[in-house]
Amino acid sequence: MLEVFDLVKQYKRLRAVDGLSFAIRPGEIVGLLGPNGAGKTTALRCVAGILRPTDGFIRINGCDLLTEQAKAKAGLAFVPEQPSLYDLLTVDEHLRFVAMCFNQLDRYEARADVLLKRYNLLEKRDSLVATLSKGMRQKLAVACAFVHDANVLLFDEPITGIDPAGVAEVKAELFRAREAGCAILVSTHLLDTAERLCDRIIILARGKKLAEGTLEELRQMSRQEGATLEEVFLNLTEERDEAPVVFDI
């Protein structure tokens, strides 16, 4: 569903993403991890079509993101770390607008109450987005990702600022999406969350892919049997090699 090959993003002298390649299959949640400045958000913005890659290609559901942008984006949803929402719309109007953009208004009409209730937004239905707390805004952004029929989902720190009940619901939504066959890429600094949530992990360092695999495969690579993802991550990023190690799975 999502294919990224030899992705490069260059900013003058800074190569933020350097030759990144990976693929995400249907029904899979993949975590994108790395230290600050590793290139995670830049990579996500390239995959979402917000930034134009310097080199490489991205395919979403078989459609090239550069040459078939409309078709590729039809199956894509992106939730950034700091959502840019329309403050002068109500919560309901915002969700309706997103549904209209993807020609999915009937779908929203049919499940509006369920979607609003699921993210604890029902009581805020007629409130302006500008009046929402940071956590409520994040919930609205996540709800927008599920308004249309996207099957490739990108999340950049999706649970930042959300209360515990909201975190549990977002995780449950991701698991439901995985069961429905979606391909999901999640960038997060919360390694314990990534350990419980993700089927596979990609670790970036200085724009390059350092390692990729399941937690067990990463444990084998770092020679840390039974270690947590946090322990493995710290070991690999502290002792990183210039050549990435990738498991063929």
pLDDT tens-digit series, residues 146-174: 888 899 999 998 887 788 887 888 888 89
pTM of the model: 0.88
Domain contains 172: no
Domain contains 128: no
109 burial type by CB count under 10 A (0-12 exposed, 13-18 middle, 19+ buried): exposed
How many domains, the chain?
A: 1
For residue 52, the model assigns a pLDDT of 94
**What digits encode the pLDDT tens for the residues 3-52?**
999 999 999 889 999 999 999 999 999 999 999 889 999 999 999 999 99
Domain contains 111: no
Domain contains 170: no
Residues 223 and 235: their CA atoms lie apart, in Å, by 10
Domain contains 217: yes
For residue 159, the model assigns a pLDDT of 82
Structural domain span for residue 204: 1-75+150-164+177-249
Q: Contact at 8 Å (CB) between 89 and 168?
A: no
Q: For residue 243, what pLDDT band results from cuts at 50, 70 and 90?
A: very low
Report the chain's mean pLDDT, rounded to a whole number: 89
- CA angle 169/142/35 to nearest 5° reads 90
Task: Could you list the beta-strand ranges (E) of the chain.
Answer: 2-11, 14-24, 28-33, 55-60, 63-64, 76-79, 152-156, 183-187, 200-205, 208-213, 245-246
Half-sphere exposure in the Cβ direction for 52 (13 Å, CA) = 3
For residue 158, the model assigns a pLDDT of 84
For residue 241, the model assigns a pLDDT of 46
Q: For residue 239, what pLDDT band results from cuts at 50, 70 and 90?
A: low
Domain contains 157: yes
Q: What is the mean pLDDT of residues 171-199?
A: 92
Q: For residue 224, what pLDDT band results from cuts at 50, 70 and 90?
A: confident
Residue 221 belongs to domain with CATH number = 3.40.50.300
For residue 222, the model assigns a pLDDT of 84
Domain contains 154: yes
- Which of the residue ranges 29-33, 204-208, 245-249 would you say has the lowest mean pLDDT? 245-249
Domain contains 110: no
Q: What is the mean pLDDT of residues 102-127?
A: 90
